[in-house]
Structure 1
């Protein structure tokens, strides 16, 4: 089974849970948070550069007609006084500005935008990517990662933060989604959004509440939105990264997660 891990915000333990699930399911982890990856192989075995197209502006040819500014839907170009300002970090490399420019003042050029890697950390197989330039080309890096290292029948996909857009773009192959969260003032709202998301996608959804100091009451909310509530992982003082070792009392929790995901509810 291919499992996708999501969260509405960062710092809730997706990386830790990804590693624990990889150990429990004997599955590799795909780090899709390429803008700021937290998981990277300690031992790199294969590595490749990712190239992407970005626009390059030739100011000496520009006559300030502004056609490119009107055409760009990403805000990468703007007319400011007597110049066209080009914002590289907003460029998606679509090429529409190049096609419409009457003076041929814009060209598309191949740049090294990221890298992908395969390796291991503590016996866990990791496939990861990261951006090397300030661009919105996360999708280009993720696509290259999956093309170079095709998904096996079992895999853990760690998505970026968020419950839409970029966070979901790399989860097309997921057969089940897990929301990883922590106690906070918008927890029930987060569960509601996740429930609506899984229903819309027609996928099974599971909720795990991490770093719990006091009991939380969200089981009824999960049931209301057709979600399976796996339970809570307690706050573990001095925790160093290996959840299975740090929480040996959690065997029943992991059995419950496995049974549900494998269809043995």
Structure 2
């Protein structure tokens, strides 16, 4: 069972819920921290990190002795990463996605694909969990290759802490999951962005359910949206200052609200049933 814990916006408590779910299940599983631009699950799970692996993408370099600056690679690059400057072709590193089209179309065989590191995967264990955490290199923009590397680590039970939002990194993290737990908050921004994430799940054909974090009990607008979209509200986590105090010390939701252990197990059982 692959469960993606996602959210339409940042700050809804997605990582808190993902970590709490992993701890509540208390069984062998794999935890993937795919929020590679701001990974912080390690703060709460305290993993023992035993190794790390560099993530490298293909990167074109130009053989000046062969290149005649014909410009075919420039015209075929979908990302605008190839630029012709007089009699030279320059690769814009920050724009290059490593797709290799430039090498395929070059009539002079002047493009050589080498490697460019974009980030790191940290590997370890946290209790019964296999723990994998992606970290985007400072100044880099391409997080998807790191997420793809993380998602090679599959198991019978997998929890994916997804990047926030509805852009490429979030889509890559959710795609292929058995179920998406969408963590939201009862605010105008939370409701607006939840709607976008529900649409992403629908397009990816990934069933989803909602957890309302920082709930005041009556969350009519969120519940109305979920009813309209035919998405179940699986759990409400009440607003409580104690959670923020424990969170600030690196504690977890379960420390603040021990009763959530049984409730999260019930949620997991329910989503297994919904998947079937």
TM-score category by the smaller chain? 0.7 to 0.9
1:140 is aligned to: 145
1:85 Cα offset (Å): 4.1
2:113 is equivalent to residue 108 of structure 1? yes
Inter-CA distance 197–131: structure 2 relative to 1 (3 Å threshold): closer
Conserved? CA contact 1:175–1:203, under 8 Å? yes
Q: Secondary structure at the match of 1:203?
A: coil
2:216 is equivalent to residue 216 of structure 1? no
1:247 is aligned to: 257
2:38 is equivalent to residue 33 of structure 1? no
2:57 is equivalent to residue 52 of structure 1? yes
1:71 Cα offset (Å): 0.8
2:174 is aligned to: 171
Conserved? CA contact 1:231–1:253, under 8 Å? no
Q: Secondary structure at the match of 1:207?
A: strand
2:69 is equivalent to residue 69 of structure 1? no
Inter-CA distance 213–126: structure 2 relative to 1 (3 Å threshold): same
2:199 is aligned to: 196
Rounded to whole Å, the distance in 1 between the matches of 2:143 and 2:48 is 24
Rounded to whole Å, the distance in 1 between the matches of 2:137 and 2:12 is 25
Give the TM-score, by structure 2 length: 0.79
2:236 is equivalent to residue 226 of structure 1? no
1:238 is aligned to: 245
1:206 Cα offset (Å): 1.3
Conserved? CA contact 1:196–1:225, under 8 Å? no
1:37 Cα offset (Å): 2.2
Rounded to whole Å, the distance in 1 between the matches of 2:80 and 2:61 is 15
Rounded to whole Å, the distance in 1 between the matches of 2:176 and 2:169 is 15
1:156 is aligned to: 159
Counting matched residue pairs gives: 262
Conserved? CA contact 1:177–1:204, under 8 Å? yes
Give the TM-score, by structure 1 length: 0.82
Q: How big is the alpha-carbon RMSD for the aligned residues of Structure 1 and Structure 2?
A: 3.0
**Structure 1: runs of 5 or more not aligned:** none
Rounded to whole Å, the distance in 1 between the matches of 2:212 and 2:88 is 51
Rounded to whole Å, the distance in 2 between the matches of 1:171 and 1:203 is 8
Residues 91-102 of structure 1: matches in 2 within 5 Å? 91-102=96-107
Inter-CA distance 101–135: structure 2 relative to 1 (3 Å threshold): farther
Conserved? CA contact 1:51–1:110, under 8 Å? yes
1:16 is aligned to: 16
Rounded to whole Å, the distance in 2 between the matches of 1:36 and 1:58 is 37
Structure 1 residues 164-219: Cα deviation after superposition (integer angstroms, max 9, x where no partner):
53312233441111111223323333333333333444433111222346843221
